[in-house]
A and B are shown apart, each in its own frame.
Chain A
Amino acid sequence: DTGVSQNPRHKITKRGQNVTFRCDPISEHNRLYWYRQTLGQGPEFLTYFQNEAQLEKSRLLSDRFSAERPKGSFSTLEIQRTEQGDSAMYLCAVSGVHEQFFGPGTRLTVL
Chain B
Amino acid sequence: KQEVTQIPAALSVPEGENLVLNCSFTDSAIYNLQWFRQDPGKGLTSLLLIQSSQREQTSGRLNASLDKSSGRSTLYIAASQPGDSATYLCAVQGDYGGSQGNLIFGKGTKLSVKP
Contacts and interface: CB of A to CB of B under 8 A. Distances in A.
Interface of A: 2, 6, 31, 33, 35, 40-45, 48, 56, 58, 91, 93, 95, 98-105, 107
Nearest to B104: A45
Contact of A41 (B91, B93, B107): B107
B42 A100 contact: no
Interface residues of B, number: 23
B108 A48 contact: no
B53 to A, nearest CB: 11
Question: Is the contact region of chain A dominated by helix, strand, or loop, or is it mixed?
Answer: strand
Contacts of B104: 45
Contacts, number: 57
Question: Is the contact region of chain B dominated by helix, strand, or loop, or is it mixed?
Answer: strand
Interface of B: 4, 32, 34, 36, 41-46, 49, 51, 89, 91, 93, 100, 102-108
- Chain A to chain B: the 5 pairs with minimum beta-carbon distance, closest first: A42-B105, A45-B102, A102-B44, A104-B43, A99-B49
A28 B43 CA distance: 20
A50 B46 CA distance: 21
12 contacts: A33-B102, A40-B107, A42-B108, A43-B91, A43-B105, A45-B104, A48-B102, A91-B43, A93-B103, A98-B49, A99-B34, A104-B43
